[in-house]
Chain A
Amino acid sequence: MLGLNKHDRTLLIIVAILTMCAPFILNPFPTDSGMAQFNAGYPDLMQRFVIFGIFAIGFNILFGLTGYLSFGHAAFLGVGSYSAVWMFKLLSMNVIPAILLAMIISGLFAVLIGYVSLRRSGIYFSILTLAFAQMSFNLAYSVLTPITNGETGLQLTLDDPRILGVSATADGGIPVTSLFGLEMRSTYEMAVGPWAFQFNAGYYLCALIMLASFYLSIRIFRSPFGMMLRAVKSNQTRLNYTGLNPRPYTLAAFVISGMYAGLAGGLMASMDPLAGAERMQWTASGEVVLMSILGGAGTLIGPVLGAGFIKYFENIFSKINDTVLHNWFAFLPDGLEDAVVFIIHPFIGKGWHLTLGILFMLVVIFLPGGLVEGGQRIRRLFSKKPADDGKPAATKPAE
């Protein structure tokens, strides 16, 4: 089925079930309970999960397979967002043309940057991509203001032409993004006892697109093309002396992953039609690198896990404050309670980045394979099989 082997099919089905049932899974706590703050099942956050999932899946096609570490991938995300918003301004509020344009423009952009950057490898490649991204970021902030609206960011206005739509709604507001009339913001709330589950149209669109992206990435990983990309990472000399030209392979991978980023950018704009230059900054590029590494670069599911993990904890950690901590540790004697809160304090709230940095270092140092490798280790521990280090790696499924 779908041209996948049994293992990959299972993986795809699991991811499909998880994303489709996310409004339930991410809302395990009743709304009025103290644990409700750990719920993540509201539309805005769920959209971010899957959109960054797409971004990371795409990045992984480049970094995971070819080993080329791009530090400028956020540029494509930004370009995608700008393109989509322009489509909303000029054509219509339908998200389909916006997303298509986002992918096309970021793809073209990737051809240009990739063609130049891929002439070098290793750290030089990283620096070149970084330089291009910073250039785009600086330009978006300054000279390109007519296109990007500079620091304010590109927004919809009431006097946008919108040839196929309306400039303003009947009641004088700015129209909202939709899929052939289905508004992206429309949300159906289902109350079951003390629980409230939200089903958002935008989320489901993003989730379906992510599933398609994930499926495509499995196909790429398992294709002869994917094998060639791994060969690029493994030994470029041999590849050259086997009559294969590495450059079109790497460029194709670069463009594909750029278009994934553009798609993510386009979706971001479709959910919330504005675009700012900060989406292109190199810290944003660093974030997608973190997601891939944390989840497990070069594995199929890793980047999705990494994206979900980082976005979830970013959200949760930012919400925890000292009051919450005091509530948690109230069972401790007063002095000890204060001490514990004092120790944890730097890592929560605004300190989330500190936690992230430490976590990231720990992963690179101790768990280079990311969460996926961690999962495999734990499974091996429990199945009590003898360590299978000697076992051929090729038979180990890349999850």
Chain B
Amino acid sequence: MGILEVKDVNKRFGGLQALGDVNLSIAENSVHAIIGPNGAGKSTLLNCLVGKLIPDTGSVMFDGQSVLGRTPFQINQMGISRVFQTPEIFGDLSVMENMMIPCFAKRDGSFRMHAIENMLNEQDIVEKAERMLIDMNMIDKRDMHAASMSRGDKRRLEIGMCLAQEPRLLLLDEPTAGMARADTNNTIDLLKQIKDERDITIAIIEHDMHVVFSLAERITVLAQGTPLVEDLPENIKGHPKVREAYLGEAA
């Protein structure tokens, strides 16, 4: 029994079958990659996991509880964090504030009225956020305006914000899309380090095969909204069905 169990999920948009009978099981503390050609339904699947979309049929269980019908913030509070394709951070706030917000969310839940409390009395939050910034190697950017950072740093901050919530499952949506090679390698190293140091399950959607084969312990290939194969990375490389799915599209 994996930490995330997707059973018979279907999703249609008008006449388009975006997902058809998707079954997926992600084992606890593993790195699971979901790959597939464009339009295979990877993002739709991801959106069904985090509550942005609701599947037409099927079930999505996280740690034995259904996530269906819950809003994104409720699902997040269950322990699923999501990293976006383009980094979603609080651009108008400082880096430190960006990091403090998930710390508050972890401690206080989805809403708390702390309108006249003083930041100085939140020493535990401040310390935790600073520790997280040190871990992410960006403590020197503590007071920077988050929007003014480079794309690589924004990505790093976003991952750090997700980790600050101590999630059990981290979902990454093409985390290296649009990045230069050096930034991509940095991100791979960061993710490897996270994997080694924390008890965390990582599910990653990715186009870049270099990233996938550097990280993944298990790979699911999605094509036309249906899982084609699920196997170890070394078996995926030469798999005829996978070739067909990718090359067929290319031809």
A252 interface neighbour in B88, B91, B113, Cβ under 8 Å: B113
CB of B72 within 8 A of CB of A223, answer no
In the assembled complex, B148 has its CB within 8 A of some CB on chain A: yes
CB of B93 within 8 A of CB of A219, answer no
Q: How distant is the Cα of A139 from the Cα of B235 in the complex, in angstroms?
A: 73
CB of A244 within 8 A of CB of B145, answer no
Q: How distant is the Cα of A163 from the Cα of B114 in the complex, in angstroms?
A: 39
In the assembled complex, B118 has its CB within 8 A of some CB on chain A: yes
In the assembled complex, A227 has its CB within 8 A of some CB on chain B: yes
Which residues on the B side are within 8 Å of A225 (C-beta)?
113-115, 117
In the assembled complex, B161 has its CB within 8 A of some CB on chain A: yes
Stretch at the interface among A108-116, A121-129, A233-241, A352-360: A233-241
Stretch at the interface among B34-42, B76-84, B194-202, B243-251: B76-84
A238 interface neighbour in B50, B89, B115, B125, Cβ under 8 Å: B89
CB of B73 within 8 A of CB of A240, answer yes
Chain A interface mostly: helix
In the assembled complex, A220 has its CB within 8 A of some CB on chain B: yes
Knowing A241-B81, A242-B76, the reply to whether A224 touches B114 (Cβ < 8 A) is: yes
Which residues on the B side are within 8 Å of A224 (C-beta)?
100, 104, 112, 114, 117, 119, 122, 125
CB of B102 within 8 A of CB of A233, answer no
Write the chain B residue with the least CB distance to A252: B113
Knowing A228-B101, A394-B145, the reply to whether A243 touches B118 (Cβ < 8 A) is: no
In the assembled complex, B127 has its CB within 8 A of some CB on chain A: no
Most B-side CB within 10 Å, residue of A243, A252, A256: A243
In the assembled complex, A185 has its CB within 8 A of some CB on chain B: no
CB of A252 within 8 A of CB of B115, answer yes
Minimal beta-carbon separation of A222 from chain B (angstroms):
6
In the assembled complex, A29 has its CB within 8 A of some CB on chain B: no
Which residues on the B side are within 8 Å of A230 (C-beta)?
90, 92-93, 97
In the assembled complex, A193 has its CB within 8 A of some CB on chain B: no
Minimal beta-carbon separation of A96 from chain B (angstroms):
22
In the assembled complex, B16 has its CB within 8 A of some CB on chain A: no
B116 interface neighbour in A223, A227, A244, A392, Cβ under 8 Å: A223
In the assembled complex, A248 has its CB within 8 A of some CB on chain B: yes
Which residues on the B side are within 8 Å of A3 (C-beta)?
118, 120
Write the chain B residue with the least CB distance to A246: B73
CB of B110 within 8 A of CB of A234, answer no
CB of B148 within 8 A of CB of A256, answer no
Q: How many of A's residues come within 8 Å of B, CB to CB?
A: 34
A235 interface neighbour in B72, B82, B89, Cβ under 8 Å: B89
CB of A245 within 8 A of CB of B110, answer yes
Minimal beta-carbon separation of B243 from chain A (angstroms):
35
In the assembled complex, A317 has its CB within 8 A of some CB on chain B: no
In the assembled complex, A216 has its CB within 8 A of some CB on chain B: yes
Q: How distant is the Cα of A395 from the Cα of B89 in the complex, in angstroms?
A: 18
CB of B73 within 8 A of CB of A394, answer no
Q: How distant is the Cα of A228 from the Cα of B116 in the complex, in angstroms?
A: 13
In the assembled complex, B96 has its CB within 8 A of some CB on chain A: yes
Q: How distant is the Cα of A65 from the Cα of B145 in the complex, in angstroms?
A: 17
Which residues on the B side are within 8 Å of A132 (C-beta)?
none
CB of A219 within 8 A of CB of B115, answer yes
Minimal beta-carbon separation of A132 from chain B (angstroms):
24
Most B-side CB within 10 Å, residue of A222, A226, A245, A390: A245
CB of B110 within 8 A of CB of A228, answer no
CB of B118 within 8 A of CB of A223, answer yes
Q: Mark A358-399, 1 if CB is under 8 A from B, else 0.
A: 000000000000000000000000000000001011110000
Which residues on the A side are within 8 Å of B13 (C-beta)?
none
Which residues on the A side are within 8 Å of B71 (C-beta)?
240, 245
- Could you list 24 A-B pairs, sorted by A, with CB under 8 Å? A3-B118, A219-B115, A223-B116, A224-B122, A225-B113, A230-B93, A238-B89, A239-B73, A240-B73, A241-B81, A241-B88, A242-B76, A243-B165, A244-B104, A244-B110, A245-B71, A248-B113, A249-B111, A392-B145, A392-B148, A393-B145, A394-B95, A394-B143, A394-B144
Taking beta carbons and an 8 Å cutoff, which residues of B are in contact with A? 50, 71-74, 76-77, 81-82, 84, 88-97, 100-102, 104-106, 109-120, 122, 125, 143-145, 148, 161, 165
Leading 10 A-B pairs by shortest Cβ distance: A394-B94, A243-B76, A234-B92, A234-B90, A393-B145, A225-B115, A238-B88, A248-B111, A245-B110, A243-B105
